[in-house]
Structure 1
Amino acid sequence: MQPISIDPDTFARQWLEAWNRHSLEDILAHYQDDVVFRSPMIPRITGAREGILRGKPALRAYWGQALTGLPDLRFELLDVLSGYETVTLYYKGHRGNVAETFLFGEKALVRESIACYAAG
């Protein structure tokens, strides 16, 4: 199996631009249909027991709510880190600094994403 080819800077730019335009469909275009998203914010926002969402429909509902509720939401890219079939974006969001790691699968789409927030 060939390694997945990802240009970290291109991914970062496109992902960030989609978020800053509040274009939900452009954001979701980066993800596989069966994506898994992990974030400690999920239980706080949804009341769910675990901080895991599975599949694009769950992400669409979760992020759609966030984009509606935060009309001034903007992310500022601080750094891009790359690994084997992974990219980590370090950025400033409305809650402070975030490190989000993206694991890529088929067609260079995100199969899993893990968001970590600055403590405090």
Structure 2
Amino acid sequence: MRRIVVIIALTLFLKPVFPVIEYIVNYDYIAKVLCVNKDKPMMHCNGKCHLMKQLAKEAENEKPIVPNKKGSVQETEMVFCLYGPTFELPKIYFNSIPKINTYYADFYDYAATLSVFHPPAV
């Protein structure tokens, strides 16, 4: 079931990229047969004109239909799942008191000297 949902989600997300994939796969056929500018090789179009037409058509299909401004009614679709995934959070107990280290020893010593070290004169 998850695989089907993942495949459908990937298809929806990658739908705008399908013309580009088709262009890459069928590059030679599009450049030689479907290219509008195949009579003008100095333009180096190589079928990009066909790709742009396909991308424009795909973008046109993606646009939502705009309802009339007068009396427009907005419809919203809602999906309810009766049985969904369940999970339980692990129980965390905070009753334990951290052990305090009573064997702390301060072995740090600081010896302050007031004289300044001078190297020997030669």
State TM-score, norm by structure 1.
0.26
* More strand by percentage: 1
Q: Flag the structure with larger Rg.
A: 2
Structure having the larger proportion of residues in helix: 2
- The TM-score with structure 2 as length reference comes to 0.26
